[in-house]
Amino acid sequence: MGERPALQTRDYVSGGASQTAVKILVVGHFAVGKTTFIGSISEIEPLSTEETMTRAGQDVDDLKGVRGKTTTTVAMDFGRLTISDRVVLYLFGTPGQVRFVQMWEDMARGALGALVLVDPERLADSFAVIDLIEQYGLDYAIAVNTFDGNPERAEESLREALDLLDDTPVVTCDARDERSSAAALTTLVSYLLARVG
**d(C-alpha 53, C-alpha 102), whole Å:** 21
- Are 63 and 147 in contact by the 8 Å Cβ rule? The answer is no
Q: E strands, 20-128, where?
A: 20-28, 47-52, 71-82, 87-93, 113-118
pLDDT, tens digit, 9 for 90 and up, residues 25-66: 999 988 899 999 999 999 988 766 555 645 555 555 555 555
- Are 95 and 72 in contact by the 8 Å Cβ rule? The answer is yes
**d(C-alpha 197, C-alpha 191), whole Å:** 10
Classify domain 20-196 at the CATH class level.
alpha beta
User: Where are the domains positioned within the chain?
Assistant: 20-196
pLDDT, tens digit, 9 for 90 and up, residues 97-138: 565 677 778 889 999 999 999 999 889 999 999 999 999 999
> From its phi and psi, is residue 28 left (phi > 0), alpha (psi between -120 and 50) or beta?
left
